[in-house]
Structure 1
Amino acid sequence: MECSSNRHAFVFLFWLVFLSPLVCSQLYYNFYDTTCPSMTRIVRYNVFSAMANETRIAASLLRLHFHDCFVNGCDGSVLLDDTSTLKGEKNALPNRNSIRGFEVIDKIKSDLEVACPSTVSCADILALAAREAVNLSRGPFWPVPLGRRDGTTASESEANNLPSPFESIENITAKFISKGLEVKDVAVLSGAHTFGFAQCFTFKPRLFNFGGSGQSDPSLDTSLHKNIVNNAGLLQSDQALLGDNRTASFVNNYSKWPLLFFRDFAVSVEKMGRIGVLTGQQGQIRKNCRVVN
């Protein structure tokens, strides 16, 4: 018995000593509890104020988080402005005149710099603002693990390869899987369209010139998954979810049980928020989300 206890103690010490760097590099739900206890309140107040002026900003903040995480990981790179030495992501084709909400992030960062200078990363602000935007829109709430650091580079070329509503479901799924996500996450995160408005150019071909025919899409007859089941998914990529054997069952289930969708959506967004994060001594904590320190 004593030998067994010693062995267990050794195993515990081995994991504690040799794997502690891995543990330290992870994200934590209580990361700012002592260094910036007012952080969540400041983020929520600013998102609430922005939504009071324009409800559509909620979808924009969620989209910013998505576009950030899918390029270089969740490192706040989408927020960087172009400079003479850096070609940012804002002018990539999927982002140009499309992504918005930067002023809201700027205001949150400004308030946090007063409350706790050089402490909260822009990447964490994006993750929290997305959660607050969804929750204040009567969507689900999920705990956001924190401790991301901000990147010092951006990639317009990678941003040009973001999943597009014009792509086949096969291509979109491949891009999700390349980020460590799963087929289920494709069906779930497509539900983000429930919280926002699609731009006209993303669905205009379905209305007026589907497949170059000069006619509307015959399957086009708004919760997203219920609409898809009823052939009313606005974006072609959304409607394709029902025609793919890998995602059809998810669409059908979410159309019947919205609470199931809320639960899985929270899980998928939290998982997305861990893509390629910088932690520990990696990256930096930007003082201004638009520029590298």
Structure 2
Amino acid sequence: MVPKVVFSFFLNFVAILVLLLPQTADAQGLKIGFYSKTCPKAEAIVLQEMTEVIKVAPSLSGPLLRMHFHDCFVMGCDGSILLNSSKNTAEKDAPPNLSLRGYAVIDRVKAKLEKSCKGIVSCADILALVARDVVRLTNGPFWQVPTGRRDGNVSQASDALANLPPPIANISSLKASFSSKGLNTKDLVVLAGSHTIGTSHCTSFSNRLYNFTGKGDSDPALDKNYVAALKKKCKPNDATTLVQMDPGSSKSFDNGYFTQVSKRRGLFQSDSALLQDPQTKDYVLNKASTSFFKDFPVSIVKMGKIGVLTGNKGEIRQHCALVKLIIIMHSS
């Protein structure tokens, strides 16, 4: 028979473990300062490279921020958006990702990190750090990025098509999409604020201008004066022109996006959809002006934990577009 004192100690020990488990599981192996010993200059290197890039190519800030989102929503935040197509069509070649730009920037950052500490920093972590730095370099908020992600070796265009919410999404499908990734309605509206920087091709919203219901009409949810202005920039079937998502401040991370949405000037149907739900509408109209800079870091850190690979899972790629040779040989 086990002595009562020992048994009591055992129960208390188990209780402590139970209390600790949720915190451990929530962290998923990520932590702030993950590279402090193995690559102490990692974050400084990323910031230095991004400072130089954004100084000469500020228009890349939006696509690079969007790249982190597109990575996390497909297979989790594992850098799979960066892999090249080989035997199958990869995520980057799926229609929703064809407008992404900045892969060479990620390669540039990775090369610098490899030179400083070979085989240590994952491509998935680079995407998270670059997203943080393009926001801070465009006058947005700063946040600590939990790191420790490892890189996945699976990338399929079909997964991108199935998981990335399209610009024509309504509020119900948007909420369902974000909920499936562990993100709530507040995260949805806050992360939509990423549209404050960057541009879009006319093809992503031209149906709202010229043929919304198939009768040659415009989307009634879009301000008529804005429709007229957009028609001057985007002619029917225009597949090359770029339009600012937040006109006038598309290179500055600010509250301008929410002002545009409140005036029925959200570029995409998914932007206008934020006015169709009580909680998202309230945030757009009443809370964004004072809370966005505080809320955005919380939501993007939460997003950055979706489906991460840590510990012995995944790999650390030497080149972000290519899985390691040993993985290719094993899977063939």
Asked if Structure 1 and Structure 2 have the same fold, meaning a TM-score greater than 0.5 normalized by the shorter chain, the answer is yes
Distance in 2, matches of 1:74 and 1:18, equals 22
Report the secondary structure of 2:92's partner residue: coil
Select 2:55's aligned residue among 52, 55, 61. 52
Instruction: Give 1:256 shift.
Output: 3.6
Aligned residue pairs, count: 287
Deviation readout 1:141-199 (Å, 9 max, x if unpaired) = 11100000000111211101211111222112111111111111111111110021122
Contact 1:75 1:277 in 2 (8 A): yes
Distance in 2, matches of 1:19 and 1:271, equals 15
Deviation readout 1:203-227 (Å, 9 max, x if unpaired) = 2222233323423333423811111
Select 2:89's aligned residue among 65, 72, 87. 87
Contact 2:28 2:305 in 1 (8 A): no
Contact 2:32 2:145 in 1 (8 A): yes
Report the secondary structure of 1:181's partner residue: coil
Select 1:287's aligned residue among 318, 321, 324. 318
Q: Which residue in 2 is equivalent to 1:158?
A: 159
Instruction: Give 1:244 shift.
Output: 1.9
Contact 2:171 2:276 in 1 (8 A): no
Structure 1 window deviating more from structure 2 (154-163 vs 245-254): it is 245-254
Select 2:181's aligned residue among 179, 184, 190. 179
Contact 1:43 1:125 in 2 (8 A): yes
Q: Which residue in 1 is equivalent to 2:304?
A: 273
Structure 1 window deviating more from structure 2 (149-158 vs 246-255): it is 246-255
Unaligned runs of 5+ in 2: 224-254, 325-332
Contact 1:165 1:235 in 2 (8 A): yes
Deviation readout 1:104-128 (Å, 9 max, x if unpaired) = 0000000000000000000000000
Contact 2:82 2:103 in 1 (8 A): yes
Distance in 1, matches of 2:17 and 2:185, equals 36
Contact 2:125 2:147 in 1 (8 A): yes
Query: TM-score scaled by structure 2?
Result: 0.80
Report the secondary structure of 1:82's partner residue: coil
Report the secondary structure of 1:247's partner residue: helix
Q: Which residue in 2 is equivalent to 1:105?
A: 106
Compared CA separation, residues 14 and 254, structure 1 to 2 (3 A): closer
Distance in 1, matches of 2:136 and 2:11, equals 44
Distance in 2, matches of 1:282 and 1:61, equals 25
Q: Which residue in 2 is equivalent to 1:247?
A: 280
Contact 1:24 1:280 in 2 (8 A): no
Query: TM-score scaled by structure 1?
Result: 0.90
Structure 1 window deviating more from structure 2 (204-213 vs 193-202): it is 204-213
% identical equivalent positions: 46
- Give the CA RMSD over aligned residues: 2.6
Which protein shows a greater Rg? 2
Q: Which amino acid is 1:202 matched to?
A: S
